[in-house]
Amino acid sequence: MADPRVHAERSEIERQIAGNTICEQLRITAERHPDMPAYSDQDGDGWATLSFAQARRRVLVIAAGLHALGLRRGEAVALMMVNRSEHVLADLGAVHAGGVPCSIYATFAPDQVAFVTRDVQAAVAVLGGAADLARWEPVLGELTGLRKVIMLEDVPEGDLFMSWDDLLALGERELAADPAAVEERAAAVRADDVVTVLYTSGTTGNPKGVPLTHANVFYEVVATDRMTTLPDRGAQISYLTYAHIAERVLSLYLPLFKVSHVHFCRDLAQLGTVLGQVKPTLFFGVPRVWEKMMARLQALLATQPPEQQEGVRVAMAAGLAFVEGSQHGRTPSPEVAAAYEEADAALLSLIRSLVGFDNALWLGTAAAPMPLEVQRFFAGLGLRVLDVYGMTETTGAFTANSNEAFKLGTVGRPAPGMEVRIAEDGEILTRSPANTAGYLNRPEATADLLDADGWLHTGDVGSLDEDGFVSVVDRKKELIITSGGENISPANTENHLKEHPLVGQALAYGDRRPYVVAVLTLDGEVAPVWARGRGIEFGSLAELAEHPDVVKEIEAAIGAANEKLARVQQVKKWRVLPVEWTAETEELTPSLKLKRRVIHAKYADVIDSMYEG
């Protein structure tokens, strides 16, 4: 049974959102706030902006164009492009046409693109340009269900392809001919219809499709709104991929409720410039973004004269003391508060202005554990970077720290109306209306995800303190989450590495790290035969592991494996060990599976050396 308070919160939210759809929400917002800015793209030194009324009309045009192309109710539209208004408009256009948009990671390898496209049964794809098309071209011949590929730029010849401008022209004609029909199709969308399918990596290597409904999204948005307590009409930046649930909730769905002005940053290298221009009220970053931002600020501060550096150090100490003293259950002393106010007026506010956080009211992070030292650094600037915790399968965050109640080092408390408990084995479980009903075309995986009582099994081990704050202690699953928030299946990478006969065992590593590395062993039977066949002299397997010809061959094997992997999955550094792994040496189980924790501990120095510098 749910806690009565949680049950009351859930019932209240469900009454509030009953029957609502994204189509209806956009209509309401466009009618109430027609001239408010909705989406801005970089245009030279300025911005090209669409109001909410203009955005909705463009959405209807796109919906009409997709219908004219034969898109039927429930058919999928695959999307791959950088963050730009067209991505959001195409997504919403597909929904208004009765279709199901599916954003695909632009880092997916062609085989993964093909798998997702077939799995979701995409009838139409909308791609940005040549770089995106390059990931599709090798497999287009296999995608017999794909009827049209719409290109924003670099349109190839052929009946399969269509330009974005031609889609808009087609939609304009269709809308003009029968505007009522376009509105009727949007009005026919129901709350329990799928609003998107997002793909998350699995331990088998194949991504798993997560269908989310309008009802899932509405519940998550309302819960997020209550957790962040942000004002309406704020400014924000969209720069993370829309294949990521956090970006979808925060910069695609939430702005339709909050009447927010979304600015698109197409290139992460430009994020610092865009932050300074937009000065967002809300900003979300995976830990790697915060780490890079901290490194840039530290480098800048290091160039200042010693006396100024000391002044910054003292000011940041005051900021850290104030933020730490504001954590749940604590109140900063008058002395700490006074010291912070003085430091803020003299220095900290200026540093925040340099970053672009003058107006920031909510700063969040998720997707991987946030290093406490990074949180403490920004706390020194008077900024609370709040950890939230969730999954694609939960439509985003189901626990969160808030400005009113937070503890650094935790992922916060359960969101309104969402239940969280810790299973006997330490696994974090959650139950709420935001949970997906299961994986697309994967009944066995769905059975592992959701139990008979509706509890979703996260695969993470954690704890719950006396104040209700959740901490993620360790990962129960083997899935790697890099510091950039990318989900990676180590087994998939390892299997590709072991395709070369010289490689006996391989372990991919990268959890909470900026990139993937690999620790390899030679096959004790194959490697000597391979070496003798090439006239290589050696006295032991250890000597062979260091031989230049072997190293060169392993390097080629790494390259061949990387060609089959998405960029974020590729192995950046590797080491060949002078030993074999066996059950007797404890790296393998009796069934010859990797004992990951044993290997991580036993070869920690080797792994750490690949992240130095």
pLDDT in tens, 142-189: 999 999 999 999 999 999 999 999 999 999 999 999 999 999 999 999
For residues 124, 130, 135, 140, the Cα torsion angle rounded to the nearest 10 degrees is: 50
Q: Kindly indicate the confidence band of residue 475, based on its pLDDT and cuts at 50, 70 and 90.
A: low
Instruction: Identify the pLDDT of residue 203.
Output: 37
Looking at the chain, the domain(s) classified CATH 3.30.300.30 span 489-609
- 150 in Cβ contact with 129 (< 8 Å): no
How distant, in Å, are the alpha carbons of 263, 492, 583, 592, 597 from that of 589? 51, 19, 5, 5, 12
Instruction: Identify the pLDDT of residue 277.
Output: 97
- 387 in Cβ contact with 333 (< 8 Å): no
Instruction: Identify the pLDDT of residue 474.
Output: 59
Query: How many CB atoms neighbour CB 304 within 10 A?
Result: 12
Select the CATH number that applies to the domain covering 489-609 from these four: 3.30.300.30, 3.40.50.300, 3.40.50.720, 2.70.70.10.
3.30.300.30
Mean pLDDT of 277-290: 92
3-state secondary structure 199-266: EECCCCCCCEEEEEEHHHHHHHHHHHHHHHCCCCCCEEEECCCCCCHHHHHHHHHHHHHHCCEEEECC
Phi, psi of 163 (to 5 degrees): -80, 155
Q: Kindly indicate the confidence band of residue 13, based on its pLDDT and cuts at 50, 70 and 90.
A: very high
Fold of 287-480: Rossmann fold (3.40.50)
- 577 in Cβ contact with 520 (< 8 Å): yes
Lowest model confidence (mean pLDDT) among 79-93, 176-190, 561-575: 561-575
Fold of 4-284: Rossmann fold (3.40.50)
pLDDT over 90 (residue 30)? yes
Instruction: Identify the pLDDT of residue 590.
Output: 42
Looking at the chain, the domain(s) classified CATH 3.40.50.12780 span 287-480
Looking at the chain, the domain(s) classified CATH 3.40.50.980 span 4-284
Mean pLDDT of 499-513: 89
Q: Is the pTM of this model over 0.85?
A: no
